[in-house]
Amino acid sequence: MSQPERQAYRARILHFLHEPEDKGEAAWQYFDDGVLLVENGHIRAVGPADQILQNFTGPVEDFSRYLIVPGFVDCHIHYPQTEMIAAYGEQLLSWLKNYTYPTEQKFSDSQYAASVAAFSLDELLRNGTTTALVFASVHPQSVDAFFNEAQKRNLRMIAGKVLMDRNAPVELCETAETGYQQSRELIQRWHGVDRLRYAVTPRFAITSSREQLAKAAELLREFPDVYLHTHLAENRLEVDEVKKSFPEAEDYLDVYDNAGLLGRRSIFAHGIHLCDRECTRLAQTHSVVAHCPTSNLFLGSGKFDMTKMRRFGVRVGMGTDVGAGTSFSLLRTMDEAYKVQQLLGGKLDPFQAFYMATLGGARALDLDDKIGNFEPGKEADFCVLDLQATPLLQFRLQHSHSLSDLLFVLQTLGDDRVIARTYAMGHCVHQRQEIS
Ligand code: GUN
Ligand code: ZN
C-alpha cells in the first residue's frame, strides 16, 4: 500500500523517551489528541494535534478513537518453529528432541523456508511487531529465505544461522569450520543491507563444542558490529548438562564468557537459573537477557526474576520465543510477564511493560538510534491499536479512567485483534480492518 511522502496520523499517541522505572512520569509522552507526522518513512514530529496541524497542509488520517504506539520489538523468536507452536507435553530437552529438531530439518528446502518465513513475518506484523531478533535453522538457505522476505516488506530484522556441531541429529550438525564459513558468507551477504543485520547464533552450549564457540567469537572479532544470539540457563536439566560438559567453567555463563561471547550486542534468551556471579558478569559486560514468559511457563522452565535483574543492572528485553512461546503477540507476552512477577511477589507496571516492548526492546537490541519511539528522524515503524477490538475490551474500558489502567487492560485482554494497522517505514504493512 502506498503512502504520500508526508502523512499525518491523528490519534491518541504514546511513546517513551526513558525507562519508567528510572524516570517515572517523565519517561513517556502521551497526547490524548495527538499527531504523528511522517515524512519519507521517518518521523518528522509528534505532539498535540492543534500545534502540529497548524503548519501542516498535507493529508491527515483520522485515527481519533485509536492509540498509536511504536512498533513492538521481539528480542527472541525462532521462525522455523512457527509450525510446531503448541506442541504437547515436554520440557526443554525432550521438546527439542521430539519436536524441534525434526521440524527444523525441513528448512534445508529453500522454498519451504521461504513460505514459512513469509507466514511468520506476516504473523509478526499482524501482532504489531516490526522488529525481531530471529533464530533461523542450521541451513544457510533458511537465513536467505528469511532475509529475502523481510527485505520485501522493508522491515528492520536481525537473524542468523543456527550453529550446532554436536548432540543433535546428524542432519542438523556441521563442523565448527563449515558453520564458521557459512556464517561468514551470510554476514557478507546480508549484514547492513537495507534494514537487516546479522546475529551469530550458536544454539546453546549443549550443541556447540568449545571449538565452535571459539569460531563464533572469531566472527565477532572479524565483524565487531554483528550480534551474538543464544540461549542461557533456561532449564535445570540443561544447566546440569552444561556443568558436566564444561567442568572448567565456573557456571553456565562462564562457558560463553571463556569463549569471548559477551558484550553489548550479545543477547541471551531466558537466563532463569543464574547465580549472583553470572548476573554481575552480564551487567559488567552490558550483555542482554531476553525474557520469554510464555515460553518459560509453557515448557515449565521456571520464573524469571525481573527485580533481581534490575538490582544487578542487567539489561533485559522481552521475547516471544515462538515456538516454545505460545503467542506472537507482545501484548500476550507482557501479560504473562506480569503474572510471572506476581508469582515472585514482584510487580510489572504497565508503563514499564509497554516501555520494554518498544524503546526498551530497541535499546536491548542496540537499535534505539533508529527505532523504539517517535523522536524526529527515527524510522516510522508503529502500530495503531483498536481500544474497542472486542466487546469485553470495549465494556471494560468504559470503566477506565487513567492511562495506566488503559494500558494494563490492553496488555491483559489484548492480542492480535487489537492491532488495527501496522506500519513499517511509514508504509502500511498490515491492515486488520477499515478504520471508522
Ligand atoms: N535451547 C536450545 N534451543 C532452544 C530452542 O529452540 N528453544 C528454546 N526455548 N530453548 C532452546
Ligand atoms: Zn529460543
H or E element that contains 20: helix 20-23
Of 91, 142, 234, 270, the residue with max ligand 1 atoms within 8 A of its CB, to mutate for a pocket test, comes to 234
> Directed axis angle between helix 176-190 and helix 140-152, to 10°?
20
Q: What percent of the chain has pLDDT over 90?
A: 98
231 C-beta closer than 6 A to ligand 1: yes
CA of 397 to the centre of ligand 1 (A): 38
Superfamily of domain 72-328: Metal-dependent hydrolases (3.20.20.140)
CATH architecture for segment(s) 6-70+373-431: Roll (2.30)
The Cα–Cα gap between 244 and 261 comes to 20
Of 82, 95, 98, 100, the residue with max ligand 1 atoms within 8 A of its CB, to mutate for a pocket test, comes to 100
pLDDT in tens, 381-395: 999 999 999 999 999
Per-residue model confidence (pLDDT) at position 201: 99
If you take atom 1 of ligand 1, which residue's CA is the nearest one?
Answer: 231
Could you tell me the pLDDT band of residue 289, with boundaries at 50, 70 and 90? Answer: very high
Per-residue model confidence (pLDDT) at position 434: 74
Judged against a pLDDT cut of 60, whether residue 15 lies above it is answered with yes
326 C-beta closer than 6 A to ligand 1: no
pLDDT in tens, 313-331: 999 999 999 999 999 999 9
Residue 231 CA, closest ligand 1 atom number: 1
Per-residue model confidence (pLDDT) at position 4: 65
H or E element that contains 384: strand 382-386
- Domain range list for the chain: 6-70+373-431, 72-328
The Cα–Cα gap between 332 and 368 comes to 23
pTM above 0.95, yes or no: yes
Are 344 and 307 in contact by the 8 Å Cβ rule? The answer is: yes
Are 72 and 358 in contact by the 8 Å Cβ rule? The answer is: yes
Per-residue model confidence (pLDDT) at position 246: 98
Per-residue model confidence (pLDDT) at position 433: 77
H or E element that contains 276: helix 276-284
pLDDT in tens, 262-275: 999 999 999 999 99
Per-residue model confidence (pLDDT) at position 310: 97
74 C-beta closer than 6 A to ligand 1: no
Residue 204 CA, closest ligand 1 atom number: 2
The DSSP secondary-structure symbol of 258 reads H
pLDDT in tens, 44-80: 999 999 999 998 999 999 999 999 999 999 999 999 9
Are 260 and 220 in contact by the 8 Å Cβ rule? The answer is: yes
Cis, peptide link before residue 323, omega less than 30° from 0: yes
pLDDT in tens, 88-108: 999 999 999 999 999 999 999
Q: How many residues does the chain have?
A: 436
78 C-beta closer than 6 A to ligand 1: yes
Per-residue model confidence (pLDDT) at position 3: 59
137 C-beta closer than 6 A to ligand 1: no
Q: What percent of the chain has pLDDT over 70?
A: 99
Per-residue model confidence (pLDDT) at position 436: 65
Judged against a pLDDT cut of 60, whether residue 193 lies above it is answered with yes
pLDDT in tens, 106-163: 999 999 999 999 999 999 999 999 999 999 999 999 999 999 999 999 999 999 999 9
92 C-beta closer than 6 A to ligand 1: yes
298 C-beta closer than 6 A to ligand 1: no
